[in-house]
Amino acid sequence: MDYQVVEIKNPVLNINDSKVYGMFNKLIKLKIMGYQHEYGNSIMPIGAYDFLSDHIAICTKESNGDLNPIAMFETLRYSTCKEFKISFPPIELTMTGGNHVLSSEIQKSAKKLLEHGNDILYDSSWTVAPEQRQKNNISSILRLVLSLWVNLHLDSDITPFFVSATLKVGTDKIFKTAGCVPVSDSPYYKLANINNQNAEMFLCCKFSNTMLKLSNMYSKLWADRIILGK
């Protein structure tokens, strides 16, 4: 399969870029379809954070040259949340998810991390197109997504980041393998906007050797990515 990786920079800061919004609209559709396929049609997974995040997408190339996104994830900077005066997602999600102690611990952890670095990130919105889940190449797509995820962070020079795992789909096991650790002794909360799904919040300061090796498998695909926006 011939893949093309696309990176979209913060859509709000690129509001007049038609290429950014052409691909962003496709990613919004992909995220809605992917989440509703997994969790039911009564959820709405789109919010303000989607418009302020950077997006990484794996696309197939159509015969007419169009790019069709089949998998994606997002990453959001703490500094962006501060600029637009919205809560940093790990703090907000755990608060609305019923674990106020965890939310407070994340806030303290974020403050300490910011004292030793320029910024921190939150990764989210892991999505694979429903039709791709039925195919034999789903394992290779997941490996590719993880490889791009590692390459993104290696390039960004922002090592500390938070990431939330939805227990139903087993991403907690993947993140532990990647070198992520639970934020606290009680890292669990409910995803209020995703039918109260059980979730676990992780912090990653260093990737495991397993993930570093995986990142090398698709490093050229990452290097050859199309970057939309500034």
Convert the pLDDT of each residue in 39-49 to its tens digit. 999 999 999 99
- Helix, strand counts (H, E) of the chain: 9, 9
Angle between helices 138-156 and 171-178 (to 10 degrees): 50
How many domains does the chain contain in total?
1
Q: Which of 45, 44, 55 is nearest to 12 (CA)?
A: 55
What is the Rg, in whole angstroms, of the alpha carbon atoms belonging to the chain? Answer: 17
Predicted local confidence at residue 201, as pLDDT? 98
Write out the residue range of the structural domain in which residue 174 sits.
Answer: 3-228
Q: Which helix (H) or strand (E) holds 127?
A: strand 121-128
Q: Which of 28, 15, 136 is nearest to 72 (CA)?
A: 28
| For range 72-86, the mean pLDDT | 97
Backbone angles phi, psi at 31, to 5 degrees: -65, -45
Predicted local confidence at residue 82, as pLDDT? 96
Of the candidate ranges 11-25, 123-137, 165-179, the one whose mean pLDDT is the lowest: 123-137
Helix, strand, coil share of the chain (percent; to 5): 50, 25, 30
Beta strand 226-228 with 197-204 is: unpaired
| For range 161-179, the mean pLDDT | 95
| For range 91-115, the mean pLDDT | 95
One-letter amino acid identity for 89?
P
Res 157 pLDDT > 80? no
Tell me if 101 sits within 8 A of 142, measured CB to CB: no
Instruction: With 0.85 as the threshold, say if the pTM is over it.
Output: yes
Res 1 pLDDT > 90? no
| For range 147-176, the mean pLDDT | 93
Res 124 pLDDT > 80? yes
Predicted local confidence at residue 196, as pLDDT? 94
Burial of 167 (0-12, 13-18, 19+ CB in 10 A): middle
| For range 46-65, the mean pLDDT | 95
Predicted local confidence at residue 136, as pLDDT? 67
What CATH number does residue 58 fall under?
3.40.630.30
Res 137 pLDDT > 80? no
